[in-house]
């Protein structure tokens, strides 16, 4: 059960203490307080764990300072959608909004290679009105002899360049908790010219200790990729690990599933699950067409498979697109064969906008249909 307090109802309000005292007297009930301190207001939720079936919802709702009480199902306690759950989805980070109702594109390099390529990428993004990018500094590679990313050494110049080109959020994968510390230190030392969304990759979806550590910090939001060989439920529970530790600023990423059934794509594209994740949880949903498809193959209609699956995800309501670009893909140190070219960026963005507009029209159509029923 979640007791949602009225906005700005914090420790200083006498009603807050009264509510906690009231709940403390209930047998076999433990409370856990979660606060979201936003620019406009502070939202407080009290999670009740234990014998909640015995509690009277309306009695708690009648307490001064209580806005609403939601009975939660066992699944995805923090991130799930529950009955009568009218809570908003998503969050804002560094001036960029992430929710189930909007869309952000994160086009960028799979892996940071050199300042020249990073700057070319950032300039193209700025020239096309973009605020977000992807830049890998720590790369989990199948082959131990492959390039592993420049690591912490590249962080200061990547952050400074990103700030210079007006980038607000960089999606950056981490594979170890030391990477989190290195990113935080580099952001701090450079005066936070940009922001970072920590990416937990498909190979680490169930690295529970990493999830707990990342979940304990609330400064940086997290993009959690779905595990490529586990069930959707297992991946959503991994997201719940982050949230249960305190960080709910999570975007859930679909990136294709590992099975030869998906051939000739690198992975079996799973973007049909965009609306499913939105129904089960309140997380914004990201699609990664590059790591799903893995090639620049083109259909007879002239469109790349990457563009086709991007449109499929966006028309199904995706909220974020993570996509590989590179100024000179033949020189990319990781995933060159799937990278789009800078000259394709305006085309790609327009194609995404067409699919988004179609999604919004379809949503309107569905709403009008349901109103009439
Ligand atoms: C990536 O986005 O660079 C990446 C390695 O993705 P995934 O974890 O989905 O393979
Ligand atoms: Mn990659």
- Counting atoms of ligand 1 from 1, which one is nearest the CA of 171? 2
Residue nearest to atom 6 of ligand 1 (CA): 201
Give the tens place of pLDDT for each residue, 296-318: 999 999 999 999 999 999 999 99
pLDDT at 82 over 90: no
Question: What six digits make up the tokens of 226?
Answer: 């779905």
CA of 8 to the centre of ligand 1 (A): 39
CA distance 36 to 50: 23
pLDDT in tens, 346-373: 999 999 999 999 999 999 999 999 999 8
Q: Which residues line ligand 1 (CB under 6 A)?
A: 110, 136, 173, 201-202, 225, 255, 288, 291
Query: Both ends of the chain: CA-CA distance in Å?
Result: 32
Q: What does the alpha-carbon distance between residue 100 and residue 341 come to, in Å, rounded to a whole number?
A: 29
Crossing angle of helices 345-372 and 305-315, rounded to 10°: 30
- Per-residue pLDDT for 37 more than 90? no
Q: Report pTM.
A: 0.94
pLDDT, one tens digit per residue, over 133-159 is 999 999 999 999 999 999 999 999 999
The rounded Å distance from CA 175 to ligand 1 centre is 11
As a whole number of angstroms, the distance between CA 303 and CA 36 comes to: 43
Report CA dihedral (179, 184, 190, 191) to the nearest 10 degrees: 170
Sign (positive or negative) of CA dihedral 202, 113, 94, 320: negative
Bridge partners (DSSP) of residue 169 are: 132, 195
The SS3 call for residue 200 is: strand
* pLDDT, tens only, 103-134: 999 999 999 999 999 999 999 999 999 999 99
Give residue 201 CA to ligand 1 midpoint distance, Å. 5
Counting ligand 1 atoms within 8 A of each CB, the residue from 107, 173, 251 with the most, and so the one to mutate, is: 173
């Amino acid at each position: 059960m979640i007791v949602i307090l009225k906005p700005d109802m914090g420790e200083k309000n006498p009603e807050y203490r009264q509510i906690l005292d009231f709940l403390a007297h209930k047998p076999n009930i433990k409370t856990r307080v979660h606060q979201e301190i936003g620019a406009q207001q502070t939202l407080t939720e009290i999670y009740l764990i234990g014998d909640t079936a015995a509690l009277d919802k309306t009695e708690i709702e009648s307490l001064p300072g209580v806005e609403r009480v939601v009975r939660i199902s066992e699944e995805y306690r923090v991130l799930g959608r529950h009955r009568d759950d009218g809570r908003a989805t998503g969050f804002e980070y560094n001036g960029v909004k992430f929710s189930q109702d909007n869309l952000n594109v994160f086009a960028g390099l799979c892996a940071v290679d050199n300042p020249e390529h990073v700057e070319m990428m950032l300039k193209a993004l700025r020239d096309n009105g973009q605020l977000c990018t992807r830049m890998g500094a720590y790369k989990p590679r199948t082959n131990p002899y492959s390039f592993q990313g420049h690591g912490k050494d590249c962080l200061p110049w990547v952050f400074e360049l990103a700030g210079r080109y007006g980038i607000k959020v960089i999606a950056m994968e981490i594979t170890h908790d030391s990477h989190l510390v290195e990113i935080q230190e580099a952001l701090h030392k450079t005066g936070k010219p940009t922001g970072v969304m920590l990416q937990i990759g498909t190979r680490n979806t169930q690295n529970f200790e990493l999830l707990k550590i990342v979940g304990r910090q609330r400064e940086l939001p997290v993009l959690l990729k779905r595990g490529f060989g586990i069930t959707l439920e297992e991946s959503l529970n991994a997201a719940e690990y982050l949230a249960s530790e305190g960080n709910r600023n999570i975007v859930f990423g679909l990136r294709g599933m590992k099975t030869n059934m998906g051939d000739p794509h690198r992975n079996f594209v799973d973007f049909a699950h965009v609306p499913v994740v939105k129904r089960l949880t309140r997380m914004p949903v990201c699609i990664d067409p590059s790591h799903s498809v893995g090639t620049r193959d083109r259909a007879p209609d002239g469109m790349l498979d990457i563009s086709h699956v991007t449109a499929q995800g966006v028309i199904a309501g995706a909220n974020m697109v993570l996509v590989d670009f590179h100024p000179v893909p033949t020189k990319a140190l990781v995933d060159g064969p799937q990278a789009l070219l800078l000259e394709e960026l305006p085309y790609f963005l327009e194609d995404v906008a067409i699919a988004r507009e179609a999604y919004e029209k379809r949503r309107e159509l569905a709403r009008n249909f349901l109103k009439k029923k």
